[in-house]
Amino acid sequence: MTAFSDLDPRSKLLLVACLSSGAVIMSHWAFLSGLLAASILLLLLFGVNPWDMLKKTRVLFNMVIFIALMQSIFVPGGQALLTVGSINLLTTGGLMMAAEFILRMSIIAASAGILATSNSREIIQGMVQCKLPYEIAFMVSMGIRFLPVFAGEAREAMTAIQLRGVNLRELSWRQKLEVTASLFQPVVAGALIKARAISMSIEMRAFRAYSTRSSYLVLTLGVKDYVLISGGLLLMALTLAYYFYLY
Amino acid sequence: MIRETAIEASNLGFGYDRESSIINSLSFTLYRGETVALTGPNGVGKTTLGKLLAGILKPARGQVLLFGENTRDMPLYLMGRKIGYSFQNPDQQLFASSVAEEIGFGLKYRGANLEHISRVTAYLLNLFDIEHLKEAFPLNLSWGEKRRVVLAACLAQNPEYLILDEPTTGLDEERIKALTEIIASLRRKGTGILLISHHQTFIEQNAERILRMEGGEIRDDRFF
């Protein structure tokens, strides 16, 4: 627990919106590194250990690195660093693109970590009080809750593959690609199956039975929230202004 | 008769966090060709113990020797070549795009030839009565069907030891009877088996020894 753990979820939503929008809008490693540093700072402020988070999402992170490297091979640019025949396998442009992709994904993962410091009920309430329709708010919060589930499923698939006696280091590149595809299969299929089961389950509990909903939980913004919201917005505006007009 | 040791646990301890311990100083030996049932109330650490023996979890204290080798020093893929482990929830170990691929996956990536993979897959599809599902997507199957696919995939590795966590869940009486026959034939072959189960009749029909867990300890170790 830190002094900022009890922050209103709307403040967290706004900060996360700033970070993730910045990660999508900006495409320069220096700006993205700055955003990642800000995300890590916020994680620490909310009492989340970024190192523990990285350990928990290791498999997902490995996948991101793998995709980034593949991307760097297939989208070359700049100076060639490694060439086989007439094909440029590694280029400075490709590597830079891979680094930017990894930074972007890390910012998004850190944003999810920030939101995970509030429970789903608080997040939904925060969105509803921001005038977002309840159904949409509920779907977004479900999506956030699915992120650790995806990471867990990828980890389980990796364990299951190794339990079949498969040593990934012994495999050829083609086989490694096939095995990596197998990691995605349970994650994607699991998400669809779970989404179907959850939608059925919530409909059975009279979700959307009435057009309006009352709520026992009402969120109020405190001084810390106003400070963090205004500070975050100001910093983001300055960064974007610098990125578009001065850089 | 002197029996060959398969798994030896000594002073085994484990907890999911530093404050609490779910397994406390367990010491016991499991033998090759022996079928042992691990029983006890929910939440006493049966599944955790199974995962410690299979190398999925590493002990916090003590050690597990698998055929004389310390599991702490063994990567998971090497454990997988010696131990077949069927999870309590079959969804956790299904990842291929078809049932046939799921069964032959380990063999394929361990360098077996196609003819051998086809032969083993066909045999196991027939043994578990899932031939009609061979092209089906494993995660879309019923619980009982998934369970049979997982068991088939475990046996495809020809493991020296088998750990089955709640293997009868979702299986009808006929399938449980078929599983009993498979276990008997594995035992005759010399494969050691640890059954983590609450199914009393199944335990009585298959196990020759029962380990009863309570409070993270083995309270009873008895042979039939």
Please write the tens of the pLDDT for every residue from B3-49. 889 999 999 999 988 778 889 889 999 999 999 999 999 989 999 99
Does residue A67 lie within any of the structural domains? yes
Does residue A3 lie within any of the structural domains? no
Does residue A1 lie within any of the structural domains? no
Does residue A2 lie within any of the structural domains? no
Residue ranges making up the domain that contains B16 = 5-223
H-run or E-run covering A88: strand A87-91
What CATH number did the domain enclosing B202 receive? 3.40.50.300
> Which of B97, B109, B139 is opposite residue A193, by nearest beta carbon?
B139
Give the strands of the sheet with B5-14, arranged side by side.
Answer: B23-31, B5-14, B61-66, B69-70
| pLDDT computed for residue A130 by the predictor | 87
Q: Using one digit for the tens of pLDDT, what is the confidence trace for B99-108?
A: 999 999 999 9
The domain tally of chain B equals 1
Give the strands of the sheet with B209-214, arranged side by side.
Answer: B83-86, B161-165, B192-196, B35-39, B209-214, B217-223
Which of A55, A54, A42, A34 minimizes the C-alpha distance to A7? A42
Report chain A's mean pLDDT, rounded to a whole number: 85
* Helix axes A58-74 and A92-115, enclosed angle (nearest 10): 150
Q: Using one digit for the tens of pLDDT, what is the confidence trace for A147-184?
A: 777 778 888 888 999 999 999 888 888 888 888 888 88
Query: Integer distance in angstroms from the first to the last C-alpha of chain A?
Result: 39
DSSP-derived secondary structure for A140-197: HHHHHHHHHHHHHHHHHHHHHHHHTT--GGGS-HHHHHHHHHHHHHHHHHHHHHHHHH
Q: Chain B: nearest CA to A59, how far in angstroms?
A: 15
- ipTM summary value: 0.87
Number of Cβ within a 10 Å radius of residue B55:
25
Interface of A with B in 29-48 (CB under 8 A): none
The domain tally of chain A equals 1
Using an 8 Å CB-CB cutoff, list chain B residues near A165.
77-78, 80-81, 106, 110, 157
The region of weakest confidence among A14-28, A188-202, B125-139, B193-207 is A188-202
Read off the pTM.
0.72
* Contact assignment for A166 to B153 by CB distance below 8 Å: no
